[in-house]
């Protein structure tokens, strides 16, 4: 499997969406190495977790995801933006990040992960 053993960090504050995303990633052969429901949590975990890609929900419980995206850019770690509303400002700020528009399918998730894996 092409995505086998890809290590993924998740920033998602909706428990049901998080569970579904973890299951879908497992089905694709990925390993979830950490999850955060708050920007503050995500920033803490970034310092201690090693992963290949992050999937970031635009709005978490305590803020929008920009500080986490900035930290990932600085770190050189690719990420995917998951959103229910495409914020033009956010997309301009992180132009290289693939976007998953909610609701998205497992196939959409697979394609976004392949884009990140292939560096496109």
pLDDT tens readout for residues 13-67: 999 999 999 999 999 999 999 999 999 999 999 989 999 999 999 989 888 899 9
Length of the chain: 120
Question: Does the domain at residues 7-117 carry the CATH identifier 3.40.630.10?
Answer: no
Residue 87 has pLDDT above 80, yes or no: no
Which pLDDT does position 63 carry in this prediction? 86
> 82-91 long-range CB contacts below 8 Å, 24 or more apart?
82/12, 82/55, 82/56, 82/57, 82/58, 83/57, 83/58, 84/58, 85/58, 87/58, 90/58, 90/64, 90/65, 90/66
């Amino acid at each position: 499997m092409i995505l086998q053993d890809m290590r993924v960090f998740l920033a998602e504050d909706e428990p049901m969406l998080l569970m579904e995303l973890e299951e879908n990633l497992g089905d694709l052969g990925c390993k979830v190495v950490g999850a955060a429901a708050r920007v503050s949590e995500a920033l803490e975990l970034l310092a201690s977790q090693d992963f290949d890609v992050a999937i970031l929900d635009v709005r978490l419980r305590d803020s929008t995801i920009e500080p986490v995206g900035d930290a990932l850019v600085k770190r050189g770690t690719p990420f995917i933006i998951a959103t229910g509303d495409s914020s033009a400002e956010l997309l301009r700020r992180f132009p290289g990040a693939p976007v998953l528009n909610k609701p998205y399918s497992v196939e959409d998730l697979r394609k976004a992960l392949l884009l990140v894996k292939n560096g496109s």
